[in-house]
Structures are given as structure tokens and as C-alpha cells.
Structure 1
Amino acid sequence: MSQLSASPSALSLTQSDWGWQGRTAGIANRTKHLLASGEHSDIQFVVGRYRGTIQTFRAHKFVLRIGSQVFDQLFYGEPPSPSHTNLEVPDATPEAFHNLLSYLYTDSVENLTSQNVFDTLSCASKYKIQLLFDLCSDFIIASLNMDNCLTMLEKAEELNAQRVIGKCLEMLDASSGEILQSDSFLTVKKTTLETVLQRSTLTADEYSVYKAAERWANHACQMDKMAPSSHNRRLKLGTALSLIRFPLMTDVQLADGPGETGLLTKDELCDIFRYKHATAKRCIPFRTTPRAAQTRRMAPYRAPQFSTRLSRTQPYTPRYSP
């Protein structure tokens, strides 16, 4: 029977004889070394061709396989796939893909920033890495404020990040008066404008909602080099106009607001005034129920603290689906 050679005496070894493996504590640090050095790699990614900056990453199929079912299926699925040694990822940024690899190798992301968090979130969704998806969502939620709330909402809707969407809407409801007056509101997409206007939980009064919508329409006309006429503003608002609850405004607000600016036609104004004061109510194309949150006071939204590493004190239970 063959026998292993006797190991040299520990006293005869120098630190350099131990190799980086023997000097590096913790599996996360050892896999981090592998990612950084590319030693023993068996897959290479060319990332960012469609995003303007190209970078190459060397990785290890086994590490990727145990962290993502997408990689598992790609490398070892049935039916067997052709041998992959080089793969292109043209739709990701190098920063986001590096964050993805860093998380798979070390359970943490050191370079997550407000500039790359949504790209990283997109990578996490594409490769079905729930923990990284949740970590990115936590980062975004912790950075929410009244200036970026609607921008974050639009990006989160593109990636179906439901928890981020919920927190954005929570902040919108609690601080709608300030958010509707912000400059960032002027640049939201029309679909986002409709999302805002149709909410029944806004704390802003209806006159403020109307003024915000008219500001948005004026800005939209300006961006398209159109005269801010009544016709053009109504054209820009489209169906969003019907989401403003004009019957909730006072007679003075109606007269000084849409009555003066021409956003509503004379027939529409007459119908609203008749609805407000006539005994027999007629159907009008505007909602008449009060926004629920206007009758109660909401506490200001407070963003939670954020950590780039998954807590090990409790077993992880998936909560949200990308």
C-alpha cells in the first residue's frame, strides 16, 4: 500500500512555503483571491460591449454554478450545452458584473454605489440571485429622498423591484406636497405621472395636485418646443387629465386655476360646478371621492440603514421575488 511522504518538520518551513492558501484566513478571502487573480479559472466573460466600456473577467464555473441556477443550467444543464470557455455579456456594465461576481464569491459587494446599483440589480435579476437582488433593493431604499423618489420609482418599475416600488410609493404618499413641487417631478414619464395622479393616498390637497399636473404639461410642451396652449397642454396630459379630481377643489380654486388657464373647457367647468351645487348629481368624467390620506396625517418616511453584507445571525428566508 502506498504511503504519503512524511511532511517536513514545521520548524523547517518558512512562511513562503505555506502558499497563499495557508496564509489566507476564511473561505471568503480565499475565493476573493481566486476572483482577483484568475488562478485556475475555466470561464472568461467579455462584458459591456453594448454599454460602451469592455472589460474581461476570469471566473470559475463551480463557484458560479452554486450561486446561480442560470449559470448552473448554462454550464451543466440538460441537454448538455457546448463547452463554454468564453462568453459575452454585452448588456451589462463592467462595474455591475464585477459586483455580481464579488457577491457570488464573497457574499458581499464592496463597490455598490448609486451610479451602479440599478445595473447590479438588473444583473441579479437576469441571473436569478435573490440575495443580491434584495441587497440592491435595500441599498436603494436606504438612499430614497424626496428629490430622487420618482426617479427611483421609474427605474424600479422597469426591473419589477416590488419592494422598492412599495417604498417609493410610501414616500410619495407621506411627502406628496413636497414631491409634487420638486423639479424632479417635471421630468417624470407620463406613465409615472398617471401613477401619481391616480393614487387615493396622496396627502397633498387637490389644488396642489392640479398645479403639479399643469406644471408638468407646461414643461412637456417646452421640451418639445410647443407653445403651452390649452390644446397642447391637454394633448400632453391626455388621459392623465381625468385623474385630477377637480370636483374636490373649491369654487375659487376652480375659477382661478383651470378656469383661468383654460386647461378645462367651459363645458367641463359648467359640468363640475353643476355637480358641486345641484341637488341631482350628473355623471362627470372626473372622480369625486376624496383622497383618503388627505383626511389624516401621515408620519414622514424614514429610510432604513443599509449593510452591504448579508447578516449571518438569522437564516435567510426569501421574501420578495424579482
Structure 2
Amino acid sequence: MSRFSPNAEGPIGDWQTSKDKLKDCIQHILHNKTFSDCQFKVQTKSSSAQVFQSHKLILAISSPVFEAMLYGVMAEENKPIVVEDIEPDVFKALLEYIYTDNINLVSSDHYCELYYAARKYMMPYLQKKCMEFIESTLNNNNACKTYEFAKLFEEVSLMKDCLDIIINQTESALNEANLKDVKLSTIITILDLDFLNIQSEITLFNAVRTCANNNNEDKGLKRFNSHVFINCYLIVTLCYCFISLIVSFTYFS
């Protein structure tokens, strides 16, 4: 009589005998779906649906949110749990961290998304690891986007670090390639700073134009014609000239 593993195809192969550590056994059941008893259907507007098999007990001992979700009074048996606010790749990384204590991501953007997932499921140690990576990879190329992340989650220290980079490396931080998906409100915040290290006000003008053209939340601004942007540029230039005159007058007085 053949023996079969629950929720898995094929006979049990005595795989446990080849594992000398518990973590190796746990990693095995993650990748082979052995003994799985819950499902997650993960899909966002920008990604197709993926289904992840998992284990209630392991998730519950890792997160109070998972515990309530899987063992609480509102838990639903045999129904996939739908997740629509986390990308499938990031949710996969979340599960891998729970099962293996490793994070298999490389980009700061993905770590920001994983930070959100860790916060959602109340996993403070994972939040800390994500924040350490985000801080260690902060540079002039991602300062604007990281500032938005820090502002969203009220990470005051990280916000300050981002602004310090933007102030001291304004030209490169506001490069068009670094402003993809950056909100216009962020550029306005930067314009309000007391000092920016720029060679010309054209840098600010181009940053405003780039965000207005590329930012989805400001679609209406795409219809602005060139005269509007010229007026914006003139206003910025006049403001800087006015400030320069005040500084000069104060100095020579």
C-alpha cells in the first residue's frame, strides 16, 4: 500500500531523513507544499494573480495578524485568502523570510514594499531589516522616491537623510531618470527648502515639468502647454533673483 503526503502529489519519500536541521525541513515544506493547509491569491492592478500554498501554524507563530486571520473567529476554511495590496514577488519574499529567515530581494523599491508588508502583518523584526537595507542603499539616485516612502510611514530620521542628500546633490537627485513616479508634491516640498545646490534654476523647472508629464496622479497637468511651463520657470527665476537681491542688500548694508 502506497503512502501519500497530505496535499502533495506522489508517495512520501522519507525526505526528513536527509535533513539534519529543523530549518531545512521547514524550507522543504515551503518549496514542496507538503502539509499545506491554506492558500493566498495575490494580485495587484499591475500584476497577474499568483497562488501561494502555505501552513497556518507557521504563519500564525510568525505574525499576530496571520494568527487572527487563520485561527480567529472570522477565519474561513478552504477559501483562498485574497491579497490585493502586495506584489506577488514581494509576498513570496515575505513567505521565504517567515520560513527561512532570509530575504531574497535586491532593490530598494522591493524592500520598501516588503517593509509595508511587514508593517501590515505586524512583523517588527522584518521591518527593522528592511529599514536597515533601505538606509544602507540611500543615494542621490533614489533620494526623492525614498523620501516619499519615509514620509508615508512617518520615518522622520530617514526623511531627514533624504533631504540632506537632495540639498547637497540637487542636480543629480533631480535628474530626469531619478524622477520616474515621483509626485509633484515632493518637488514642491523641495522647492520650499532654504538651500539647494544647483547651477541653474533650469534644474528646478525641468524637475517640475518631468513630474507633471510623468506622474499618473497629476494627469491633468499633462495638458499644460509650453506657455504655462515658461511662466513657471519665470516665476522661479524671479523668486531666486529677488532672494539674491535681498541677500546682497543685507550684506552690503
Could you tell me how far 1:174 is from its partner in structure 2?
3.6
Could you tell me how far 1:143 is from its partner in structure 2?
2.5
2:32 counterpart (31, 34, 37): 37
Contact 1:173 1:203 in 2 (8 A): yes
The total of aligned residue pairs comes to: 231
- Secondary structure of 2:140's match? coil
Q: Distance in 1 between matches of 2:107 and 2:207?
A: 30
1:228 aligns with 2:219: no
Cα 1:68–1:82 shift into 2, 3 Å = closer
Pick which of 97-106 and 152-161 moved more: 152-161
2:183 counterpart (189, 194, 204): 189
Larger Rg: 1
- Secondary structure of 2:51's match? strand
1:212 aligns with 2:220: no
- Secondary structure of 1:228's match? helix
Q: Distance in 1 between matches of 2:94 and 2:141?
A: 28
Q: Please name the residue that 2:128 is paired with.
A: 134
Q: Distance in 2 between matches of 1:109 and 1:198?
A: 38
Contact 1:157 1:165 in 2 (8 A): yes
Q: Please name the residue that 1:110 is paired with.
A: 104
Q: CA RMSD in A?
A: 3.6
Contact 1:117 1:140 in 2 (8 A): yes
2:68 counterpart (67, 70, 73): 73
Cα 1:96–1:133 shift into 2, 3 Å = same
Q: Distance in 2 between matches of 1:143 and 1:27?
A: 33
The equivalences for 1:304-319 within 5 A come to none
Structure 2: 5+ residue stretches without partners: 1-11, 214-220
- Secondary structure of 1:116's match? helix
- Secondary structure of 2:227's match? coil
TM-score by length of 2: 0.73
1:56 counterpart (43, 51, 60): 51
TM-score by length of 1: 0.59
The equivalences for 1:1-322 within 5 A come to 19-48=14-43, 50-77=45-72, 80-85=73-78, 86-114=80-108, 116-180=110-174, 182-184=175-177, 188-200=182-194, 202=195, 204=197, 208=200, 210-219=201-210, 220=212, 223-229=222-228, 232-233=231-232, 247-249=242-244, 251=245
Percent of aligned positions that are identical:
25
Contact 1:24 1:30 in 2 (8 A): yes
Structure 1: 5+ residue stretches without partners: 1-16, 252-271, 280-322
Tell me which protein shows more helix as a share of its residues.
Answer: 2
- 1:33-54 deviation per Cα after TM superposition (whole angstroms, max 9, x unaligned): 1111111112111111544321
The structure with higher relative contact order (CA 8 Å, sep 6+) is 1
